[in-house]
Structure 1
């Protein structure tokens, strides 16, 4: 066996040493192959395609050997596939379903019969593609959606091109929705052409196979490499790519600034049905397409591969850069979205059936801005990012198809029948109920530790995406690694932020817009404490306290409101103040008065922002010592001195002076913040919630 393979357009990732460790475990090798194929987005998208292996198992009832197929289960992703994500079925029973099949009009009933073919009743649910694997005679099968192959499959002359590249080694099946009938046609095609190495499904994808996992892997890579070579040799030969450029790129910094400025507006318009999270990309492949002469023509044709279409809708919204630069750009965007919704509603009415599900969200998923890039919006960050990946693949497909022939999109009725397939609707209905903060974007200042970090984690657990930040680069780097390991890249973004510096605040909101589309929740949590007798308090102490606590809260809120007003979705501002805002205590003139200013600023903001449906509320903690930078310095010593106890005695001292005799933790403050934003207090603003264990002197009323 070769230990290296030379490919120019796909990645050869097979490791002989790793494969040798898995030798003897056919399922493990099948999973390994699947993960390698899924790791290269040129081969297939997230959750796109499926792989399988057939092997002999022991029938648990008879003890006899029986052939069982392991295949990626419904909704899984081959790049992250595990045994738990596989369905396994008796091959003989799958073939027996031929006797039950009543024709195309009864396709959907076959899915329910797959359950009667399960080898392990507790395995993952079989997908609609199960018969496409089960009715073929090959031990190892790969069904992928490679850009290069779909470019040929979505070409007007695709079948002729296939024969030009592979002769009779590959066969062609015209477009047909996946299901039992397509499995029967695949079986017939292979039976009539015993020397095939693969089959192209028109407008859809590729089937390849092999006797071993490695042979299937190599066969798959070679076919895709050959298709890629053919396309590469033809780019620019027939005509310029996408008809040539219609405009020049702007520079990267300008693109990012323009995108960050417009993103909240787009997010607000895209969130009419439910609150959306956004994603932006100015990938060079996207820019080549959005700046091209053929943009409008090709974008209108829609995508071809069902996997692309289900993620990106019937077609994108293409923005007019001239209109966007006009004084009436907001009015233009509102009309552009309204026209898109009307167009989508007309598409639904033209194609619906008597039993079609009700029309879904009519807003665009993909938005293209010439010279700037692509925006995508979905229920969460991962789905929005994946939609961008799928449309980028669709761009690659259009580029290849136009280079060798004419691109052909999926027929509109076929597209509708997939989008509103009753089986797809049933899958959507089985999705878990959204968490309270799903679709919400939260920026918590000082969130690299202490109370801020606890709030960020609580919001993440309830479905939000967050922007963690700190003015301490080392502390932020540590938190960044922690969040990446615990939550993954789609849950958060990290940015350095000094609340006293307007420029870094603006950068943070730009990062929030580019990463997620804007901001819905802002928690002013960054702070510091200085405890000194009046005679020892310096002017610099005073300025620092007021700059961080009061000016910082003002600046962060001011810029948050500008973003929220662009979105027109309302919002929440929560200010972490202190019981010291209400209680007079010794050695606390600067800190206590700054906290009082924070509290009254909160009231003023609540009164002013109600018209924008932006709610401003306050959480008043006391003595939150755990994981706090405040208590790591001289503040703890100062408070201990003021109360005549040692630093080690402070937690017990603070607990004993409360009505509940409780130590207050960062999670307690986080839960209070959650109460303000999880929907239960949606009609409350201007409130003060004490989380101090019960300090009677700090009662507001």
Structure 2
């Protein structure tokens, strides 16, 4: 239908520009008619973005569709503001047809306004006016009688009634500023509504630019560190901060050092403003009421910064618990956790956290929105967010709790950050894909960056932002500096490392007399030395995080089975196998489990076999190379060919949560080779 297409196109245009609204924030609606599926007669309907959707990526499936006559009839049974939450359940009785999204709390705002098209948005410039101490007077000054001020009211049925009355009683008005919250605009056509939304936003932006003070955050008191130093400091602090933020539940992290963040943290007023917290409900639902702010100089010793962060974290948890206890009433949902979602480190940047990378990234984006709001409000007035008690009413709103209950169950590896070496092909690629499919954020590490990028892009193809799911990094595991850099890349991407798969390897099939010293050194450098370096550097991160972890070695049947013409390979694999035992014994006190997988005969998709090893092994066994996989299968007890996905499944079995008390174990994935039985 044209009305639906117009609504989706308008939503995409508005949602594509971050100046207009934040991710998943705001909603848009359109009214029209369509045939009743039973009577065939036209009925008046409203299409509105449903709960939890995003304007920029909205589809028809993300719209709630309601009958206007039934929705507006709810005004006759409305029990009053003290019981307005009951009206959300009543929206279900107004739905039209099958399917569609769940109606959001803002449905009444759209349905009760008489205009055919309504936009409700969260632009930074609009919220700056909405959170100014003299917001009502500013609204008159900026917009005249074209935009009306609405005092703060929690989103809901009563706010819908209020805005409907304003639209009815102010015929010259094109929209309103919602105190502490955002803006709403309306129009008789989709184009008119969009034009009015943009008029409000651009007028607010122009006013702030023309009348705002140039230094609303005060003078610079702490210059940001240079970029290289900043990232080095961020990588050093991030695992510690992530561990602290995971005290109640493990989280994934996101690091932001954009100019607006660094400027805010460089200036004198940032401690005062940060303590006031955010105001727009969409903001503080993701950022919590206030961030944790480190109060040391950017160049303070790392050890001092870590010690102070631990002190501040304890204080933050105590303050948050007190906040909950001040405002909780009988029937309030239980406290969800007292850890910060935003941690600000002057000179370095912002660390944001969430249940996955997207949530962590979006939390950071919302705090950048809040910084922009504070800048605008302070430039023309003073920043005055909604009261703490109102923030609590929204944060621990039963309707928000119900939304959380509707969320799908987390995948087994959700919140885990995995680093897979040799991830560009074969077993490594299959393992990276499997861990990502089970919810992990994955760092695909390989000497061949193009191969790693291909795997990471494949993993990230279904994500809103590909880097939320996987990133690629080039690394030669024999090079200590490259390993350190790769681990630092993982830390800056996701906040740390929880799961390591030592898979990088190669093999040269030669007899003892044909094996050169270079052959020996190369295989030991890649597999024995490489695994050692990766395990050492990632163990540092896991210990700093303090939440345990997993290290998995992809060793080989050849680590315990003596086959012909592979002395260097077999010896290097035996070295890896014993590293598993040694590290399991050493790292257990930190909650880090170390296990191994012993594959055999993984021919298809294998980088090792395609690089010449397959041809040589086929020659040793006297079979055509293209039938080597079949040959390996027939010599097993199960007579089955082993594929990279089978090895990946074993890695997941070790790390997916069911073997929580297992460490120092080697799992054969060889379809049954009796000579390689562990004993």
TM category, shorter = over 0.9
Q: Counterpart in 1 of 2:363?
A: 387
Q: Take 1:187 and 1:593, find their aligned partners in 2: how far apart are those partners?
A: 78
Alpha-carbon deviation of 1:480? Answer: 3.6
Q: How does 1:29-108 map to 2 (within 5 A)?
A: 29-108=6-85
Q: Take 1:129 and 1:481, find their aligned partners in 2: how far apart are those partners?
A: 37
RMSD across aligned C-alpha pairs, in angstroms?
Answer: 1.3
Alpha-carbon deviation of 1:612? Answer: 1.5
Q: Counterpart in 2 of 1:234?
A: 211
SS state at 2:85 partner = helix
**Of 377, 389, 410, the match for 2:386:** 410
Alpha-carbon deviation of 1:359? Answer: 1.1
Alpha-carbon deviation of 1:262? Answer: 0.3
Alpha-carbon deviation of 1:360? Answer: 1.3
Q: Counterpart in 2 of 1:357?
A: 333
SS state at 1:635 partner = helix
The answer on whether the counterparts of 1:302 and 1:410 sit within 8 Å (CA) in structure 2 is no
Q: How does 1:140-539 map to 2 (within 5 A)?
A: 140-236=117-213, 240-322=215-297, 325=301, 327-487=303-463, 488-539=466-517
The answer on whether the counterparts of 1:71 and 1:88 sit within 8 Å (CA) in structure 2 is yes
Q: Counterpart in 2 of 1:645?
A: 623
Q: Counterpart in 1 of 2:612?
A: 634
Give the TM-score normalised by structure 1. Answer: 0.95
The answer on whether the counterparts of 2:581 and 2:594 sit within 8 Å (CA) in structure 1 is yes
SS state at 1:660 partner = coil
Alpha-carbon deviation of 1:330? Answer: 3.4
Unaligned runs of 5+ in 2: none
SS state at 2:285 partner = helix
Unaligned runs of 5+ in 1: 1-23
Alpha-carbon deviation of 1:245? Answer: 1.3
SS state at 1:444 partner = strand
**Of 568, 590, 595, the match for 1:617:** 595
SS state at 2:344 partner = strand
Is 2:52 aligned against 1:111?
no
SS state at 1:377 partner = strand
SS state at 1:534 partner = coil
**Of 106, 123, 128, the match for 2:105:** 128
Q: Deviations over 1:576-633 (max 9, x none)?
A: 0000111111111111111111111221111111111211111000011111111112
The answer on whether the counterparts of 2:213 and 2:380 sit within 8 Å (CA) in structure 1 is no
Q: Take 2:117 and 2:332, find their aligned partners in 1: how far apart are those partners?
A: 37
SS state at 2:5 partner = helix
- Distance of aligned partners of 1:326 and 1:646 in 2 relative to their CA distance in 1, 3 Å threshold: closer
Q: Take 1:481 and 1:359, find their aligned partners in 2: how far apart are those partners?
A: 38
Give the TM-score normalised by structure 2. Answer: 0.98
Q: Take 2:189 and 2:177, find their aligned partners in 1: how far apart are those partners?
A: 21
- The number of equivalent residue pairs is 676
Q: Take 2:597 and 2:23, find their aligned partners in 1: how far apart are those partners?
A: 41
Q: Take 1:634 and 1:491, find their aligned partners in 2: how far apart are those partners?
A: 33
Q: Take 1:339 and 1:299, find their aligned partners in 2: how far apart are those partners?
A: 15
Q: Take 2:165 and 2:159, find their aligned partners in 1: how far apart are those partners?
A: 10
**More divergent stretch after superposition (600-609 vs 679-688):** 600-609
The answer on whether the counterparts of 1:376 and 1:387 sit within 8 Å (CA) in structure 2 is yes
The answer on whether the counterparts of 2:236 and 2:302 sit within 8 Å (CA) in structure 1 is no
Q: Deviations over 1:643-691 (max 9, x none)?
A: 1222122111100000000000011000100111111111111101000
- Distance of aligned partners of 1:430 and 1:485 in 2 relative to their CA distance in 1, 3 Å threshold: closer
Q: Counterpart in 2 of 1:4?
A: none
Structure 1 consecutive aligned stretches of length 4 or more whose deviation exceeds 6 Å: none
Alpha-carbon deviation of 1:326? Answer: 6.5
Alpha-carbon deviation of 1:354? Answer: 1.3
Q: Take 1:87 and 1:369, find their aligned partners in 2: how far apart are those partners?
A: 41
**Of 629, 635, 645, the match for 1:667:** 645
Alpha-carbon deviation of 1:211? Answer: 2.3
The answer on whether the counterparts of 2:445 and 2:474 sit within 8 Å (CA) in structure 1 is yes
Q: Take 2:301 and 2:105, find their aligned partners in 1: how far apart are those partners?
A: 47
Alpha-carbon deviation of 1:167? Answer: 0.9
Alpha-carbon deviation of 1:328? Answer: 4.2
Q: Deviations over 1:162-210 (max 9, x none)?
A: 1112110111110000111111111111111111111111111111122
Alpha-carbon deviation of 1:60? Answer: 2.3
Alpha-carbon deviation of 1:483? Answer: 2.9
SS state at 1:664 partner = coil
Is 2:546 aligned against 1:573?
no
The answer on whether the counterparts of 1:520 and 1:564 sit within 8 Å (CA) in structure 2 is yes
Q: Deviations over 1:354-412 (max 9, x none)?
A: 11111111000000001111001111100000000101000000000001111101201
SS state at 1:584 partner = coil
